[in-house]
Amino acid sequence: MPSHTRILLGMLIGLALGLMARLSLESDPLLPWLVQNVAAPLGQLFLRSVFMVVVPLVVAALALGVAEMGDVGRVGRVGIKTLGLTLLFSALAVAIGLFAVNVFQPGVGLAEPQRQALLQAVGGGEVQHAVAQAAQAKSWAQTLVEVIPKNPLAEAARAFEGGLIPLMVFALVLGIAMASVKPEQAAPLKSLLESIQAVMLQVIGFAMWLAPFGVAGLMFVVAATLGADTVLMLGRYVLVVLGALAFHQLVVYGLGVRLIGRRDPLAWFRGMRTVMLTAFSTSSSAATLPTALAAATEDLRLPRRVSHFVLTIGATANQNGTALYEGVTVLFLAQMFGIQLDLSQQASVMLLSVLAGIGTAGVPGGSLPMIVIVLGTIGVPGTAIGIILGIDRLLDMCRTVLNVTGDMAIATCVAASEPENETELTENVPSVLTA
């Protein structure tokens, strides 16, 4: 059975058992005992095996993503345009997601006692601590200063208590610096980080064996504490994510291709059919790259020098669907936990989501470690991710479609603005882009 089917099954079983337990055991002390001593530890076991790679993975993935983006900038005009469009499309995607989640508020409506029970069940003491920390308002100046880590290792050690942002800043600077030194100077570090990234993703692969049981445990906790309301809430959340993704896919890309790329959007989407299907079925931008490269030349007739460049870089560094999804998910969970985010906090979620889109590996579930990080920064326990894990695969399939469509949209826009028959890019192309 494919792993996503097992996870989905785990979720359904956990949900059903949780709801049944809630109905049949109601005020029996056995119910909280089951939650605390069986279901929650099962979920924790799985989550902790994912969390343990978050620190190395994030540093490696983000530094590499930024280094690649920096390399793009080096390659001249096409690079700058790609960079600009990546940021523009990502920011629009997150803005759409945040708008939708603010308007439809899928996570609002839990009564206070239910919320407290959920907090207790999902995060234990950790949560109270995180919430208390989030409530400690700091001055703007202080917040700004503390974003620069004094000691990245110390920040890594307190990663889940607010250290991740400074750590991400460190990774960001590392990536920029890697793109600024001579390519041969950065090469060993780059391959080390690439190796770290690959190995850490493999560890997550191992953890995924536990996923069906972990997800069953987590869903049991949620269903047993919240009852049927949860199912409704999750349904609303899925609809908001899908609606926002569809809007971005059709309207933003459609307009971009029409206005900047000067193409007929309908014909363009028709040419993208195989690519979108591949992305949907593999849930991986990286796995879709070969199909995308072929379609760019054969179906969309894009000049190879632009499409190869943009698509290769985009498969790892431009993930609009993921960025949108992260924004929605983080805000949804914040709503569920009753954490009010003001405008500036939402702006920082937006920024982090854009960054997370850049730093996410183009593999199934690549964005999950990033979500944990963004959650931590706004005081939601990372374990809350368990609430949405069961339905993640479906959403992953959909957001991956956007991720690759976005790359192709950028390639189309860049190609339209380039004079034909130029070969500027054949020189100075960083090795990572030609590999």
Tokens of 160: 């889940």
CB 8 within 8 A of CB 390: yes
Q: Choose between 53 and 134: whose C-beta lies nearer to ligand ASP.
A: 53
- In the complex with ligand ASP, the residue whose CB is nearer, 201 or 223, is 201
Quick check: 300 and 271 in contact, CB under 8 A? yes
Tell whether residue 400 is a contact of ligand ASP (CB under 6 A): yes
- From the number of C-beta atoms within 10 Å of its C-beta (0-12, 13-18, 19+), residue 18 rates as buried
| Ranges within 299-328 binding ligand ASP (CB under 6 A) | 319, 322
Q: Of 283 and 335, which has the nearer Cβ to ligand ASP?
A: 283
Among candidate residues 285, 304, 313, 307, the one with its CA nearest the CA of residue 70 = 313
- CA-CA distance, 109 to 230, in Å (whole number)? 10
285 is an interface residue for ligand ASP by CB under 6 A:
yes
Residue-by-residue DSSP string for 246-313: HHIIIIIHHHHHHHTS-S-HHHHHHHTHHHHHHHHHH--HHHHHHHHHHHHHHTS---HHHHHHHHHH
Closer of 303 and 362 to ligand ASP (Cβ): 362
Q: How far is the CB of 148 from ligand ASP (least distance, A)?
A: 28
Least distance to ligand ASP, CB of residue 282, Å: 8
364 contributes a contact to ligand ASP by CB under 6 A: yes
Per rule CB under 6 A, count of chain residues that contact ligand ASP:
16
Query: Could you tell me the smallest distance in angstroms from the CB atom of residue 260 to ligand ASP?
Result: 23
Per CB under 6 A, does 284 bind ligand ASP? Answer: yes
Min dist CB 367 to ligand ASP, Å, is 4
**In whole angstroms, what is the distance from residue 377 CA to residue 215 CA?**
23
Name which of residues 378 to 397 contact ligand ASP (CB under 6 A).
396
Do the beta carbons of residue 39 and residue 224 sit within 8 Å?
yes
Binding of residue 362 to ligand ASP (CB under 6 A): yes
| 47-55, 157-165, 254-262, 360-368 -> range binding ligand ASP (CB under 6 A) | 360-368
Of 7-15, 242-250, 331-339, 356-364: span binding ligand ASP (CB under 6 A): 356-364
Closest CB to ligand ASP among residues 230, 318:
318
107 sits near ligand ASP (criterion: CB under 6 A) = no
Instruction: CB nearer to ligand ASP: give 284 or 353.
Output: 284
What DSSP letter does each residue of 380-430 carry, written as one string? --GGGGHHHHTTHHHHHHHHHHHHHHHHHHHHHHHHHHSPSS--GGGSS--
Q: Of 90, 360, 383, 405, which one interacts with ligand ASP (CB under 6 A)?
A: 360
Token code pair at residue 101: 């989640």
**According to CB under 6 A, which one of 70, 214, 365, 381 is a site residue for ligand ASP?**
365
Contact 210, 41 (CB under 8 A): no
Closer by beta carbon to ligand ASP, 225 or else 285: 285
* CA proximity to 325, closest of 374, 259, 378, 258: 374
Residue 120 CB, nearest approach to ligand ASP (Å):
29
Considering only the stretches 28-36, 204-212, 295-303, 359-367, report the one whose residues sit in contact with ligand ASP under the rule CB under 6 A: 359-367
Query: Which one of residues 70, 214, 366, 390 is an interface residue with ligand ASP (CB under 6 A)?
Result: 366
Does 283 sit near ligand ASP (CB under 6 A)?
A: yes
Calpha distance 237→243 (Å, rounded) = 10
Binding residues (CB under 6 A) for ligand ASP: these are 283-285, 319, 322, 360, 362-367, 396, 399-400, 403
